[in-house]
């Protein structure tokens, strides 16, 4: 069994057995039919991967290209304009896209926003890469998508809102922090895409790959996702696939979807789950 499948199985089982319902409180999230989207949740779950294999589920199909596209949209395109997603027919954000075909000042906007540091105009990504190369021992390698001044201009508050990078003994470690994580739908994509991002940053900065830690403040399962997830828990898992990343890319902004191949990805059929909005 792939490591990601076992970690996921343990997380889902823990929430289903020990999670707390939010049915005693007003819930702002609803289903498409307008009924409240209740959840069962646990506080402060931590998942840790040694990155000896690709952390992608095999007990269901994970749309890995869409996951990479979303990450490229945020971190390489650095925009909230959905034209990039439209170009590749990625529909992950259609429920939160406004009339201007963007998601407001969220995610990619924050990464591309010009910032002034030490008299130089840069952005969070360029600054991160520069500091990883030139000041590796720093404990300040932090990316933040949570800008309180812009929250009211975001179509969706960032769920995965912060990440920190640490260089130890020539290895690049990544800690990802999520204020809230939909374990049925969003989580499988999030873990995989941040592994991909970690591989990309390690490649262009020249470090070996370290650990990936994923912290979830509110790990929740929606009521209508319980039955399909229970089915998934009983499925047979396959060995993890291999991710090829074009080794010729040495500049972060040069990465495109053509620089990634997921090799020998075996998986069980997709599981359809409703999206809560």
Active-site residue (options: 42, 128, 159, 172)? 159
- Partnered with residue 171 across adjacent β-strands are 168, 208
Measuring CA to CA, how many Å separate 62 from each of 16, 157, 242, 244, 247? Answer: 22, 24, 14, 17, 24
- Partnered with residue 219 across adjacent β-strands are 42, 181
Sign of CA dihedral 87, 90, 92, 94: positive
159 as an active site residue: the answer is yes
Quick check: helix, strand or coil at residue 97? Answer: coil
Q: 79-83: list long-range contacts, CB under 8 Å, 24+ apart.
A: 79/108, 79/109, 79/112, 80/104, 80/105, 80/106, 80/107, 80/108, 80/109
Q: Report the alpha-carbon distance of residue 189 to residue 99 in Å, rounded.
A: 26
- Partnered with residue 116 across adjacent β-strands are 121
Query: Nearest 5 degrees, angle CA 49-CA 54-CA 58?
Result: 105
Tokens representing 62 are 């994970």
Quick check: helix, strand or coil at residue 161? Answer: strand
Contact 161, 145 (CB under 8 A): yes
Catalytic residues: 159
């Amino acid at each position: 069994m792939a490591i990601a499948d076992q970690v996921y199985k343990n997380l889902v089982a823990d929430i289903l057995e020990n999670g707390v319902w939010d049915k005693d409180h007003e819930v702002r999230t609803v289903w498409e039919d307008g009924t409240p989207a209740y959840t069962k949740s646990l506080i402060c779950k931590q998942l840790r991967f040694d990155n000896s294999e690709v952390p992608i589920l095999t007990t269901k199909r994970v749309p890995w290209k869409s996951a990479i596209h979303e990450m490229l949209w945020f971190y390489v395109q650095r925009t909230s304009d959905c034209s990039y997603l439209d170009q590749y027919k990625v529909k992950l954000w259609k429920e939160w896209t406004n009339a201007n075909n963007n998601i407001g000042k969220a995610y990619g906007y924050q990464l591309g926003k010009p910032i002034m540091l030490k008299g130089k105009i840069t952005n969070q990504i360029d600054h991160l890469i520069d500091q990883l190369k030139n000041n590796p021992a720093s404990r300040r390698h932090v990316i933040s998508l949570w800008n309180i001044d812009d929250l009211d201009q975001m179509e969706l508050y960032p769920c995965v809102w912060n990440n920190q990078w640490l260089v130890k003994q020539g290895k690049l470690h990544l800690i990802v922090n999520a204020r809230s994580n939909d374990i049925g739908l969003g989580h499988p994509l999030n873990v995989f895409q941040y592994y991909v991002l970690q591989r990309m940053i390690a490649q262009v900065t020249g470090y070996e790959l370290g650990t990936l830690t994923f912290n979830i403040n509110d790990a929740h399962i929606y009521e209508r996702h319980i039955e399909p997830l229970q089915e998934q828990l009983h499925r047979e898992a396959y060995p993890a696939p291999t991710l090829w990343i074009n080794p010729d890319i040495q500049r972060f902004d040069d990465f495109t979807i053509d620089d990634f191949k997921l090799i020998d990805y075996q998986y069980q059929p997709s599981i359809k789950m409703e999206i809560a909005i």
